[in-house]
Amino acid sequence: MRTARLFIVAAWLCTAAHAQVPELGRWQDLDFSEVEVYSRTDDRYWDMLVTLSKDGRLDDDPIVLSRVRAIAPALIRAATWMKPEAGAWVWEIHTTSAPDVDALCMAGGKLLVGSSFVRRLELDDGELATLIAHEIAHAVADHHREFLSSVLHISPLPSNSLDVTMARLDSDLSLQMKMARLSSIQEREADQLGMILAHQAGWPADSMVGFYRKLADTEGPSAISASHPSAASRLNMAKAMRRLFGE
């Protein structure tokens, strides 16, 4: 059994695709195909939209929806500059008043922004652009695909189809804890890449710093998460990026 298990792991390692995170250069193992991951996440995105629509919480804040849809195109153009393949994605842009949603961008450009979160933090347009850019950066860096692929290396099983892997991530708390380190790395990368995208789209760095300052004020000094950098460290990163931009 041990020999068979090692053979399976070795086979995955031999067939894995290797890529680098744009701009930052970190190497990634991407075992699952782009087509497969984008198809499954597209299904999940639309399932989410259907549920939100039934609950009356999809695109139900026209003011925030209008702001998001006005801000996103320039960020998408910047994403295409950073990752040319993003120009071929079928982008979707929606909002929801669901209180547990801040923002997300699934693989392939499926964006969802929480209007309640935007209003709670009183984000101005530059700060909102920073939030959107952070989420787009996750898609540009292929973080979702990398995250799913990493399960094969951290906790392999003989039957590790994409569907099985996604189900395990949804239900296995111990596996989620094992993935926390990679999640934190990805969040830090999305912060940096998102600021680069926002800068390319013409937004001032002061607005980006303002967004992370509001996050820090909201989170408070006692909040700790294994899967995210602390709000204080994210704010320091934003200030360092502002200096890098020369602003």
pLDDT category of residue 157 using cuts at 50, 70 and 90? low
pLDDT at 106: 95
Per-residue pLDDT tens digits for 228-240: 888 999 999 999 9
Cα 40 from chain centre: 16
pLDDT category of residue 172 using cuts at 50, 70 and 90? confident
pLDDT category of residue 80 using cuts at 50, 70 and 90? very high
Of the two residues 187 and 13, the one the predictor is more confident about is 187
Lowest mean pLDDT, pick from 75-79, 92-96, 164-168, 237-241: 164-168
CA–CA gap between residue 181 and residue 174 (Å, rounded): 13
Does the pLDDT of residue 12 top 60, yes or no? no
CA–CA gap between residue 185 and residue 83 (Å, rounded): 20
b/e string for 215-244 if b means 16 or more Cβ within 10 A? bbeebeeeeeeeebbebeebbebbeebbee
Percent of the chain with pLDDT over 70: 89
φ, ψ of residue 84 in degrees (nearest 5) = -55, -30
Q: Is 8 exposed, middle or buried (0-12, 13-18, 19+ CB in 10 A)?
A: middle
pLDDT at 8: 41
Average pLDDT, the chain: 89
pLDDT at 220: 62
pTM of the shown model: 0.90
pLDDT category of residue 16 using cuts at 50, 70 and 90? low
78, 200 contact by CB (below 8 A)? yes
pLDDT (average), residues 53-58: 98
CA–CA gap between residue 168 and residue 246 (Å, rounded): 45
CA–CA gap between residue 205 and residue 190 (Å, rounded): 16
CA–CA gap between residue 149 and residue 154 (Å, rounded): 9
pLDDT at 225: 63
212, 238 contact by CB (below 8 A)? yes
171, 8 contact by CB (below 8 A)? no
CA–CA gap between residue 119 and residue 76 (Å, rounded): 23
pLDDT at 168: 85
Per-residue pLDDT tens digits for 36-52: 999 999 999 999 999 99
pLDDT (average), residues 154-164: 75
Locate 54 and state its tokens: 């039934």
Per-residue pLDDT tens digits for 92-143: 999 999 999 999 999 999 999 999 999 999 999 999 999 999 999 999 999 9
pLDDT (average), residues 207-226: 81
